[in-house]
Structure 1
Amino acid sequence: MADVKPLRGRNSFELYREGNTHPEIRLTIALVLAGRRWRTLLDEKFRPLNQSAARMEALAAIINSPPLSAQVDIAKRLRIEGPTLTRMLDALEADGLVQRLPDPADRRTKQLKVTPAGEAALKDMFDIADELRNRLFEDYTDEQIDLMNELCWGVVNKLADGLPPCV
């Protein structure tokens, strides 16, 4: 790769206007497009099961949280707003995939539990995602995957921690 100075302090609009780009811009675009395409692919493959990537994320977050976690904790884990999760839980509960149980310590709070039907649905979605993931990464070495993990999680964590303010 060519030795290119970081974009820092440069205006990406001017680069675009001139028909140019920059590695940091291309990387940002690639991350966005990869995430979108992955979700779209999962949604396509889950459609025959009447499921979606969003439903998989919600079920996985519940099942991978401490037992009987509260709705608010799951929303935080998914980095979504409470009302968004509430709508998703309404649908999952109507389909018999989750239960909302009253919290004995706080009647205003609902605890979440994945039902056996929810576990079965989640397993089916994981099976499909595993097959797609295996095909997606089959041409990469373990070292390349480790490096991608390190770099991508570094970006995710930096975004989650909040970027320094623009000056």
Structure 2
Amino acid sequence: MANKQADVQHDSAGAWAKKYHMTTRMVMESVLRPYELGPTQWYVLYQLGTVGATAQRDLVLILQVERATLTGVVAALVRKGLVRQTPDAADQRQKVLTMTPAGAALWRELPDPIALILETAFEGVSEADLATTSRVLRDATGRLVALLAEGDEG
């Protein structure tokens, strides 16, 4: 006989949020694999391609990744000749990232994995349902962030 508690947890909103996240990650990796890019590398290129030059330290917050993770991602993009890393004019210890001409050329030809994911995942879903889903997940995330903040205080 199946464990009813486990069945309920596997069909919960949280379980589906995790499955959605993991599946979108797999789709993104699949789309980017022919270009020899990973998702975090794509997000760095996205930032540089849409916003322009960005301080490397700012990307840690923007992408919500560890500094060491970003260092490795940036090093790979520099090695591939897609990104240039230069000292910040105001603080030589800090680095500013810009896209190289090769990076800009690749950026223009890259498919947008986020657009593909959104178009595919939410095809036929009403705006009202999307708004409700976003609100529920945003509120749930906010409550969990508050819980973590309480734990940090204590």
TM-score by length of 1: 0.73
For residues 95 and 63 of structure 1, the distance between their equivalents in structure 2, rounded to whole angstroms, comes to 16
Q: Report matched runs for 1:54-133 at 5 Å.
A: 54-64=40-50, 67-133=52-118
2:104 is the alignment partner of 1:146: no
Aligned-residue CA RMSD (Å): 3.0
List gaps (5 residues or longer) in structure 2: none
For residues 47 and 98 of structure 1, the distance between their equivalents in structure 2, rounded to whole angstroms, comes to 18
- Tell me what 1:44 maps to: 30
Return the index of the structure with the highest Cα Rg.
1
The answer as to whether partners of 1:59 and 1:114 remain within 8 angstroms in 2 is yes
- Tell me what 1:13 maps to: none
SS in 2 for 1:108: coil
For residues 160 and 118 of structure 1, the distance between their equivalents in structure 2, rounded to whole angstroms, comes to 36
Match of 1:29 among 4, 15, 29: 15
Match of 1:155 among 140, 146, 149: 140
Higher RCO by CA contacts (8 Å cutoff, separation 6 or greater): 2
Distance 1:53 1:105, change over 3 A: same
The answer as to whether partners of 1:102 and 1:111 remain within 8 angstroms in 2 is yes
Q: How many residues align?
A: 150
Q: Which amino acid aligns with 1:38?
A: T
Q: Which amino acid aligns with 2:127?
A: D
List gaps (5 residues or longer) in structure 1: 1-16
Give the superposition deviation at 1:96.
1.9
TM-score by length of 2: 0.78
Give the superposition deviation at 1:145.
1.6
